Amino acid sequence: MQGSDAAGAAAAVQSDAELNGPQADAVVHVDGPMVVFAGAGSGKTRVITYRIANLVATARVPPYRILAVTFTNKAAGEMKRRLERILGPEIVRDLWVGTFHATCARLLRRYHEAAGLERSFTIYDDDDQRAVMNRIYKELRIDDRRYPPRDVLGRIHREKQEGVTAAEFHPDRFGDEVVARCFSEYDRRLADANAVDFDDLLVKVLRIAEDMESSAGDELRRRFSHVLVDEFQDVNRVQYRLVRALTRRTKNLFVVGDDDQSIYRWRGADVRIVRNFKKDHPEAKVVKLEENYRSSGNVVAAALAVIRPAQDREPKELFTQNPDGDKVAVVACATERDEAAYVAERIRELLERGVSPDEIAIFYRVHAQSRVLEEVLRAERIPYQVVGGVRFFERAEVKDLVSYLRVLVNPKSDVDLVRIINVPSRKIGDTTVERLAQMAGELKKPMFDAILPLCGSDRIGPQPKKALARFHAMMTEIAEHAKTGSPREIAERVLVESGYEQMLKDENTDESEGRLMNLQELVGSIAEHEIEVLAAGEVPSLAGWLEKVALTATIDEMKDAPRVAMMTVHAAKGLEFSAVFLTGMEEDMFPFRSQDPSGRADLEEERRLAYVAVTRARHKLFVFHAERRMVFGGTKYGLPSRFLADLPAPVVDAKKTEVLRASFGRFIDRPAWSAEPPRPGAGATAPKLAWSHPQGKPAPAVPAPMQQRSLFDDGLPVRPAFSVDEGAPSPRGRAGGLATRRGPDRSVEVEPGERYVERDDDAPAAIGSGLGRRAAAAAATVRAGGLRRGSKVVHKQFGVGVVVDVDEAPDPTATVKFSGWTDKRIKVRFLQLLDDAS
DNA sequence: GAATGGCCCGGCTGC
DNA sequence: CGGGCCATTC
């Protein structure tokens, strides 16, 4: 680092910063442990960035002695980019900025010997882990019904996250003997394959860092003078121990987090670590950033209301000086498709008003919700990108090519070898592979190295021998070329030489076409990586690319493109958008409740998750809940999420979609929880849900529906089953609580005061015929009023549409354009005319 | 040894 | 509803 650079940077830090009091404290206080409780939108990324800049520019800390741990690679990239503007690329290149996993992978390449690995080790993902475990089950003849491999792997995973090794594993539960056996066998196989799993990356580095005897440990502990950790509320035990070990000498551990945003408990994160930081480090300086610069007043108010009932929070009060802005729209929808159509409509409006698509995001609790949203956005020609979901790198053809490349880099990796040995088909069947595995076991060699010995034996027939020998020759040849070629060239060669490309070309279907394109994209990604690495002045390698691939998170794949982003709330952590659409805010969806009866939800964490979702929005926040929703093939009827009830009335603008408004004699299934009529005080505690509402909240003195309605002042049926007929669109009068349906025994008489509920499980067939009297009335309106082109209509299934054509016949039919569907031809009597006044 | 169809089970969040 | 695994068949 040149002196002038540093001086310039120091000046830049001073002039750029404009940090407020607490922020400045967090930046300039250099030595010793420090914890920053940074509320959502309080500028913590800025603080970390400027702190690093300050360390380098003012405190003159050599950049290579600074380690900054971010939560995602994407965040690491952004931080580096910001720092480059302040410090210049030369300095930033020497900084260590990355996720725990990426950092540990990098360290492990340096200290591989101390971890008993070769430098070329492979990182196994869940799929690989499962493959290894299946192999173990087969060979040890373990009953996979009694001990599901999934559970065993999950158990091992949890143990590793706590830093427990196979040797230390203490069987104390039923079935733990099996876990113990699998654990050590699994570790042994990974070691033999020169491979590590995600947990190993951290654990192995931790072993070295905590080893007071070895020189590697000593060196590692001296490596960094300052360690900074972002999103500290989501670190696990191993990660915490690691950063403590790394700062054992200097004590310069700086952590930033928000215990309110801890949402990864299910993967080992422990929010108590940040909450107890002061206890662990009595000398630690504590800073709280409580001013939110991101969101409008109403959004902040909503966020606070959601998080306030949470327990054991670090005391802090988020506030903002931003204007109140628009209210939070809470939108009641009929179905998920109605929800999607409404989302699309609002997005369309925003886009027309000049909002950039990348300033808009749609959130959901689970990926499964994305499909319908995607369909509708596609139909509406709104540019979007789905973050995560079925990941690119999980596609079969992509994994195949990756496996080929991994075998080239690390021929010991048996799971990769098995994956590709017969793809494309080389007449090397299961039996042959089995024999090969046996041979490898006996020779205590990797399977690849057992190929030739097996060919030299008389254990297999001449055909398999030939096939195996050819495969071996092919791979050897490619490996030979791989010594000189660039990663992209190697990948291309593999595709050709292996016959993989030919296989797909021969198939010549739409699917194979798509696969070929995916492979092209993969090669493109390798080429891109080459360019990046070359630009950084380093030599691109296949191993480097493979490592990057293994450690790429879904969110890292998010492109900087003018597209609406769709993602889970988990993926949204750390991001912000001008407009946020938070969908599926219903009980059992969000808070999510697993189908698995043993799977109890962690309500506290779900609440924090909701808080994260809300705090992503800068200006506009739309929250949605649907009356019914298709979930895993069945229709689920959902109550509005309890988190909605926490929103203060003054910041909420409650709306209903037109489809919901127009829905008459709602066909609400009668769920078990409505078996009893609501009684005062019973509403909130009735066994309608597996969860009770948060402790400490007194049961409402009024029936829950009424209590909630104060919030939804347009008569929104927050408890649909109890308020079925309310909010009907027109004053045509109630249906008298009676509705008719086809078939015998299906018309139901309803007592006064009770609401009519009806099944709606045979959807398409029931369209129209199940509509009841109001439908008839509506149809009459349509015919009498006359349906024209341009008329707005509602259809039970398809939602709101615009008539593009009417076919006058004895049974008039209209062609209607529905949002999110292809044009439909529908009998006019199944349509309801929307009077535009409503 | 490969290909195809059916069945069963899981079913969230993800490095 | 969908994916993975198994059994059947060629």
pLDDT of residue A274 exceeding 90: yes
Please say whether the beta carbons of A49 and A83 come within 8 A.
yes
pLDDT the model gives residue A726: 29
Which comes out higher in pLDDT, residue A758 or A650? Answer: A650
SS3 A76: helix
Give the pLDDT mean for A813-833. Answer: 74
Q: Higher pLDDT residue, A41 or A395?
A: A41
The region that residue A444 occupies, defined by phi over 0 for left and psi between -120 and 50 for alpha, beta otherwise, is left
Higher pLDDT, A494 or A765: A494
Amino acid at residue number A448: F
Is residue A747 predicted with pLDDT exceeding 60?
Answer: no
CA angle A278, A282, A283 (to 5 degrees): 115
What is the DSSP-derived secondary structure letter of residue A718? S
**pLDDT tens-place string over residues A247-273:** 999 999 999 999 999 999 988 899 999
pLDDT of residue A830: 75
Q: Which nucleotide is nearest to A263 (CA to C1')?
A: B13
Among A349-353, A495-499, A522-526, A745-749, the range of highest mean pLDDT: A349-353
Counting residues of chain A whose pLDDT is more than 70, the rounded percentage is 81
Measured distance CA(A666)–CA(A668) in Å, rounded: 6
pLDDT, mean of residues A134-159: 86
The reported pLDDT for the residue numbered A496 is 92
In the prediction, which pLDDT does A729 show? 32
Whole-number mean pLDDT of chain A?
A: 80
Distance A607 CA to B13 C1' (A): 14
Lowest mean pLDDT among A223-227, A334-338, A398-402, A763-767: A763-767
Residues 41-100 of A with CB under 7 A from strand C: none
**A5 has a pLDDT exceeding 90:** no
**Residue in A561, A579, A567 with CA at minimum distance from that of residue A354:** A579
Question: What pLDDT shows up at residue A674?
Answer: 32
Is residue A345 very low, low, confident or very high in pLDDT (cuts 50, 70, 90)?
very high
Summarize the confidence of residues A670-677 as an average pLDDT. Answer: 32
Q: Distance between CA A760 and CA A770 in Å, rounded?
A: 8
Report CA(A118)–C1'(B9) in Å, whole number.
Answer: 40
- Nucleotide nearest A631 (Cα, C1'): C1
pLDDT at A786 over 50: yes
d(CA A616, CA A578): 8
pLDDT score of A834: 72
The answer, yes or no, to whether residue A683 has pLDDT greater than 60, is: no
Please give the average per-residue pLDDT across A773-787, as a whole number: 46
**Mean predicted confidence (pLDDT) in A314-328:** 94
Q: Which of A125, A128, A230, A646 is catalytic?
A: A230
Return the ∠ at Cα A483 (arms to A479 and A488), rounded to 5°: 85
* Active-site choice (A5, A16, A45, A278): A45
In terms of pLDDT, which residue wins out, A732 or A568? A568
Q: How far is the CA of A497 from the C1' of B4 (A)?
A: 28
pTM: 0.79
10 Å CB burial of residue A140 (0-12, 13-18, 19+) is: exposed
Distance (Å) of CA A288 to CA A44, A310, A533, A831: 10, 19, 39, 57
Distance A498 CA to C1 C1' (A): 36
Question: In the prediction, which pLDDT does A445 show?
Answer: 93
pLDDT band at A11 (very low <50, low <70, confident <90, very high): low
pLDDT of residue A809: 66
Mean pLDDT value across residues A278-302: 95
Which residues in window 385-414 of A are less than 7 A from strand C by Cβ? 390
Is there a cis peptide before residue A591, judged by omega within 30 degrees of 0?
A: yes
Query: Is A165 a catalytic site residue?
Result: no
Between these two residues, A84 and A756, which has the higher pLDDT value?
A: A84
Mean pLDDT in residue range A705-734: 29
- Whether the pLDDT of residue A730 is over 70: the answer is no
pLDDT confidence of A782, banded at 50, 70, 90? very low
**pLDDT (mean) for A460-464:** 86
Q: Which residue is nearest to nucleotide B12 (CA to C1')?
A: A366
> Which positions on strand B lie below 7 Å from a protein C-beta?
1-3, 10-15
Structure confidence by residue, pLDDT tens digits, A561-604: 889 999 999 999 999 999 999 999 999 899 988 765 554 668 89
Least trusted range by pLDDT, from A469-478, A555-564, A777-786, A807-816: A777-786
Highest mean pLDDT out of A8-12, A421-425, A719-723: A421-425
Check residue A327 and give its pLDDT.
97
Binned at pLDDT 50, 70 and 90, residue A829 comes out as: confident
Contact A623, A404 (CB under 8 A): no
Interface residues 591-650 of A with strand C (CB < 7 Å): 630, 632-633
Give Rg (Cα) of chain A: 30
**Is the CB of residue A383 less than 8 Å from the CB of residue A344?**
no
Q: Which of A466-475, A551-560, A723-732 has the highest mean pLDDT?
A: A466-475
The reply to whether A74 belongs to the active site is no
Whether the predicted pLDDT of A698 surpasses 50: no
Q: What is the CB neighbour count within 10 angstroms for residue A560?
A: 7
pLDDT value at residue A513 = 82
Give distance CA A371 / C1' C2 (Å): 13
pLDDT value at residue A549? 87
The pLDDT of A53-66, averaged and rounded, is 94
- Nucleotide lying nearest to A609, CA to C1' measure: B13
Bases of strand C lying below 7 A from some protein CB: 1, 3, 5
The pLDDT of residue A800 is 75
pLDDT at A202: 96
Q: Using the CA of A634, which nucleotide's C1' is the nearest one?
A: C1
pLDDT of residue A732: 30
Verify whether residue A616 is a known catalytic residue: yes
For residue A633, give the nucleotide whose C1' atom is nearest its CA. C1
What six digits make up the tokens of A372?
């319908």
Whole-number pLDDT of residue A663: 73
pLDDT confidence bin for A13, thresholds 50/70/90:
low
Which nucleotide is the nearest neighbour of A389, by CA and C1'?
A: B14
Tokens, residue A526: 């390798």
Element (H, E) at A658: helix A658-662
C1' of B3 to CA of A425 (Å) = 12
Measured at the alpha carbon of residue A528, what is the angle toward residues A523 and A533, in degrees to the nearest 5? 125
pLDDT of A242: 97
Q: What's the CA–C1' distance between A40 and B5, in Å?
A: 52
A463 contact partners, CB below 8 Å, separation of at least 6: A427
CA at A425, C1' at B1: how many angstroms apart?
10
Inform me whether the pLDDT recorded for A476 exceeds 60. Answer: yes
A231 is catalytic: yes
Within window 128-157 on A, which residues have Cβ closer than 7 Å to strand C?
A: 130, 134
- Per-position DSSP letters for A498-554, written without gaps between them: TSHHHHHHHH-SHHHHHHHHHHHHHHHHHHHHHHHHHHTTS---HHHHHHHHHT--G
pLDDT digits (tens, 9 = 90+) for A411-447: 999 999 999 998 888 888 888 888 898 899 899 999 9
In the structure, what pLDDT confidence band is assigned to residue A17 with cuts at 50, 70 and 90? low
Which of A231, A374, A530, A604 is the catalytic position? A231
Among A46, A65, A204, A616, the one annotated catalytic: A616
Q: How far apart are CA A120 and CA A410, in angstroms?
A: 6
Q: Which nucleotide is nearest to A144 (CA to C1')?
A: C5
List the A460 CA – B1 C1' distance (angstroms).
14
Nucleic chain C contacts, protein chain A, residues 767-786, CB cut-off 7 A:
none
